[in-house]
Amino acid sequence: MTGEPFFVTTAISYPNGRPHIGHAYEAIATDWLARFARLDGRAVFFLTGTDEHGLKIAQAARARGLSPRAFVDEMSSLFRKMAEDLRISFDRFIRTTDPDHRVCAQALWQRMAANGDLYLGRYEGWYSVRDEAFWDEADTTLDADGVRRAPTGTEVTWTVEESWFFRLSRYQERLLDLYDRHPEFVQPAFRLNEMRAFVERGLKDLSVSRTSFDWGIPVPGAPGHVMYVWVDALANYLTPTRFWTGEGGWPWPAQLHVIGKDVMRFHAVYWPAFLMSAGLPLPRRVFGHGFILNRGEKMSKSAGNVVEPSELVQAFGLDAVRHFLLRAIPFGQDGEWSPEAIAARANAELANDLGNLAQRVLSMIVRTCGGRMPSARPATPEDEALAARARALLPACRSAHEAVRPDLALEAIWDMVAATNLYLTRQAPWTVRRTDPARAEAILWRAADALRRVGLLLQASIPDTAARLLDQLAVPAGARGFAGFDTPVPTGTPVPEPRPLFPRLELPA
């Protein structure tokens, strides 16, 4: 049931700018997956990090008057800090400048070369000396003065550069076969269709080295060449496996790569082709999530709507942010975000539905049950109905986890919270206890146990709040894994005086 190891990754971030809510979203969603799997007793390896090579980094560093190395040291630390602030439970924060990653990327390269898939060729295109970059012809303009210019306004000239190429064209059939045999490889499903359509149109070989800049991993045996993005960046997933030594690493393949929809092709086409070339197993799945739009608009510096994750956490608290992102947006779709939406969701669900439920149940237990966990007593049909729902919650959440849909898991959990509130209102233990104290205790026990299960499951999404809830329910630290899902808190266990679980938030002015 729970034996399968779970190696899960985010994409690595390109730290030429500061982390934004999009980075936070991917990290939080993947963190939910990792925490859930750990709670479910699986061996988890959660990898995230930064992709630090390339021209843009070198340019950004120069603009700051820093060496590339000094620049990425600083920028990467911002991403790591973000992950820590968001309580992302990564097992390794990888940097593509890490020594073992360099070895890994070169080992991958050599495997691909050994398979005859890398050859020296020429990369040609419209090159801007000022930008140090090639531009698509479609992006350039031929101005009235007869000069062709890049979007940046700099002059471009047709330039030929020596480059290593990967024989991607060899892999068209094998990729299509992969999509046919393992349609779950690319998710959501509509992305698979896009990837298949892309591959069906025919694949050209891929330029995978550059000589025009040197901030990158050297190509083995090819002085002057550094790897150009794909082999370097994608190899990060392989680095913790130490596949090149055959020992000491986390077992490959990864179960899941969580990525943004913008890097779908690189993970669903190039990456499996690289691995096939290297004779390595493929990851089980690649899941492309959507973007978080600020009031319906993509964030950009020019629009002045860039929000840093730390600001959100400061304004609303970490769990309000985590809860909103996981709950409010169907994972895989784009979603909209606003301060009002975060606060409204937190108030309605964390404070009112959940927090108030905990408060009403626990305060009655403390006040009317002598501060000790009551006992179940014979169950009524209403009790059984609630219990059946509660038991079904773990399987439902497991399904949502398997489907990479935290939103569906949280929907099921909040249905349970609502059912428990309704149960409590209908059973009215505050009235029953005047005539039948034992029955009132049984009702409170039933509600408390539903809350306990909710609390266990919420550890994946809102770990701080969930921990407080479980503390208040007197759930022992050793009984908080899903293995204990059907194990109630023993009758008679002292229950502490409850404190409001989650405060109502005021809207920022």
Partner RNA sequence: GGCGGGGUAGCUCAGCCGGUGAGAGCGCAGGAUUCAUAACCCUGAGGUCGCGGGUUCGAUUCCCGCCCCCGCUACCA
Task: List contacts with RNA (CB under 7 A).
Answer: 14, 51, 54, 56, 123, 133-136, 168, 190, 193-194, 197-198, 201-207, 228-229, 233, 261-265, 333, 336, 344, 347-348, 351-360, 363-364, 418, 421-422, 424-425, 430, 500-504
- Dihedral (CA of 258, 264, 266, 271) sign: positive
Please state the closest distance from residue 172 (CB atom) to RNA, in A: 9
Looking at the Cβ atoms of 282 and 343, the one nearer to RNA is 343
Smallest distance from RNA to CB 360, Å: 3
Asked whether the beta carbons of 90 and 46 are under 8 A apart, the reply is yes
Rounded Cα distance, 300 and 22, in Å: 12
For residue 205, the minimal CB distance to RNA (Å) is 6
Distances (CA, A) of 231 to 86, 195, 278, 400, 508: 29, 19, 11, 32, 45
For the CB of residue 475, give the shortest distance to RNA in the complex, in Å: 17
Among 15, 14, 29, 23, smallest CA distance to 325 is for 29
The DSSP string of 78-145 is HHHHHHHHTT---SEEEETTSHHHHHHHHHHHHHHHHTT-EEEEEEEEEEETTTTEEE-GGG-EE-TT
Question: At its nearest, how many Å lie between RNA and the CB of residue 23?
Answer: 11
CB closer to RNA out of 60 and 475: 60
Tokens of 132: 């140090």
Residue 33 vs 354, nearer CB to RNA: 354
Q: Is 229 exposed, middle or buried (0-12, 13-18, 19+ CB in 10 A)?
A: buried
For RNA, the closer of residues 85 and 205 by Cβ is 205
Minimum separation from the CB atom of position 391 to RNA (A): 21
Q: How far is the CB of 121 from RNA (least distance, A)?
A: 10
User: Whose Cβ is closer to RNA: residue 130's or residue 245's?
Assistant: 130
Nearer to RNA, 197 or 388 (CB): 197
Residue with tokens 């500061």: 18
Looking from the CA of 493 toward its CB, the CA atoms found within 13 Å total 17
Q: Which two tokens stand for residue 211?
A: 């000589």
Q: Compare residues 37 and 350 and give the one whose CB is closer to RNA.
A: 350
DSSP character at residue 484: G
Kindly report the backbone phi and psi dihedral angles of residue 131, in degrees, each rounded to the nearest multiple of 5, phi listed first. -80, -15
**Between 320 and 357, whose beta carbon lies closer to RNA?**
357
Q: How far is the CB of 160 from RNA (least distance, A)?
A: 13
